[in-house]
Amino acid sequence: MKQGGKVELPLWLGEMLAVSQGPTPLLTLDLPTSLSPRVLNALKADPRTVDLRALAAHFYALGARMLELFEEEEVGDVLSETFKQRAAVLADQAHNPRGAMGEGADFLRGLDEQERRLFRAAHDSAKAVRTWMAENKTRR
């Protein structure tokens, strides 16, 4: 490999090589393509339309790790705003029993793992409340 060439490595390996002992590091780290300026611009425009799962199954975890390695305030701001906006849609989809059947299906397919866990928790909670209300209605 030529000096100055680019290669994609797993994060754990890239970190290890970047901090290896020696007069000069073996490599330098860049933000991954899933956090490129193009992706950040798409998230700023409308975070609900971006398929986070296609970018990285653990998109927010990757972003959090990158914030530990890089001083990228804009990345942190964009990720925070993305999560807030998507969480509102996610909650709406979880509370609407027919939500996953309609226009929200594409959105749900694009959820990263953290969002999927949040969706399941919100969906299960909404279902439990509906069950509880139905049981109390029949007792009257």
Most confident stretch, 8-22, 96-110, 124-138: 124-138
7 assigned to some structural domain: no
10 assigned to some structural domain: no
22 assigned to some structural domain: no
How buried is 140 (Cβ within 10 angstroms: 0-12 exposed, 13-18 middle, 19+ buried)? exposed
1 assigned to some structural domain: no
72 assigned to some structural domain: yes
Residue 114 makes CB contacts below 8 A (sequence gap 6+) with 58, 59, 60, 61
Give, rounded to a whole angstrom, the gap between the first and last alpha carbons of the chain: 76
What's the pLDDT score for residue 32? 92
25 assigned to some structural domain: no
DSSP state of 33: G
- Exposure string of 89-124, with b = 16+ CB inside 10 Å and e = fewer, is bbbebbeeeebeeeebeebbebbbebbeebbeebbe
Range of the domain at 58: 31-139
Please give the Cα distance from 103 to 107 (Å, whole number): 8
What's the pLDDT score for residue 23? 76
Segment 53-91, tens digit of pLDDT: 999 999 999 999 999 988 899 999 999 999 999 999 999
CATH of the domain at 126: 1.20.58.2050
Number of structural domains (the chain) is 1
